[in-house]
Structure 1
C-alpha cells in the first residue's frame, strides 16, 4: 500500500516543480515585455508542457554531471583508494587515525544520534528549499533573456517571415512581430510605433510558413 502513495507524491512533486519553473520563466518573459499576465493567461496543460521544455536541458545536464561524477568515483577514485588501503599496515593506520580524529573514540548516546539525525534532515530540507529558490531565479532570468532577444531583434529591424503575423484589429490590418499566445489572447508588437497589441485567438491571425530546409539553406 505504500508504493502507490509514494508514486503519487513523486508525481505531484514533479508536477509542482514543472508548474513553478514554467511560471517563473513565463513571468520573466512577460515582465520584460511589459505584457499583462491576466491577458496572457495560459491553461494548465500549457504551463506544464512549457515547464518540461524549459527544464529539459538543465535536467539532462544535471543527470550527465551526476552520472559522470559517479563514474569517476566508482571507476577511478574508489579503486585507487581501496588498493592503497590494502597495500599495507601503514595506510590502514592512517585511515584509522583520520577517522578517530574526526569521529573520536567516544560512544555516541542514542539521544545524541537522534538529534544529529534531526539536524541532518533539517539541513537537507533547507538546502532543497534554497536550491528550489535558485532554480526559480534561473528560469525567470532565462525568460527575461528570451524576451530581451526578441526586443533586440525588433529594434534592430530584423524581420524573419516566420516571426511576423498579420491580424485584423478593428478594421485595420496590422503586421506585427509575434510575441506569444496565452489560452485565449495573443500579443504582437508593431514595427515603427513599438505599440503592443492584444488580440483574441477567436479573431484569427495569419503568418508566412517558412520551410526549415529553406531557412537553413539561406542561412548557410
Structure 2
C-alpha cells in the first residue's frame, strides 16, 4: 500500500491557528483550492454551499465586530478577552468561511445538503494541505449566534459549516490521539433495540 496519496491522507493534521504565518495562498492557489472544495458529493447538483474570503484588512474589521458583539453578550471585556475576539480572524493570513446555503428540494433533506457543505470544508483543507499550507477548521461561538452570522456576511437562512484558517506553518504539528478502529467499526448485526 505504497501510495503518496495514502501517505498524505494518513498524516493530515490541523495546525494551531496562532502558529500560522504568511504567506497565504496566491490567487492562483486559492482558485485551485476552491475548485477542489467544490468537487464533493452534491445530490441534485444544488451546490448548497458558498465561500466567503476573509483576508487583508477585512480580518481586522471582523475582529472589531466580534469584540462589540461579545461585549453585548458579556459586558465590558477584560483585555485578554478583548484581544481574543479582536484576533479571531487575523491570526492566519486567510480565513475561508464555508457557508451552508439551504436550497429547497422536494426529495433532498437539508441535513444531506449540510453534509455536502461539510465535505466542501474538508476538501478545502485537503487541497490547501496538498499545496503546502497549514489549515485548521473551526466554527466557534459566533457561528451559532444570529447576529454573529450576519456580521460575518451570512444571510438569515444560511449557517456556518466552518471557518477554514489557512497559512504557513513551520516546525512539527502535535499528533493528537486518534480513535481506535476496534471501538468505532462494527459489522451490521441487525436492527437495534427500540
What is the TM-score with the length of structure 1 in the denominator?
A: 0.19
Higher relative contact order (CA 8 A, sep 6+): 2
What is the TM-score with the length of structure 2 in the denominator?
A: 0.20
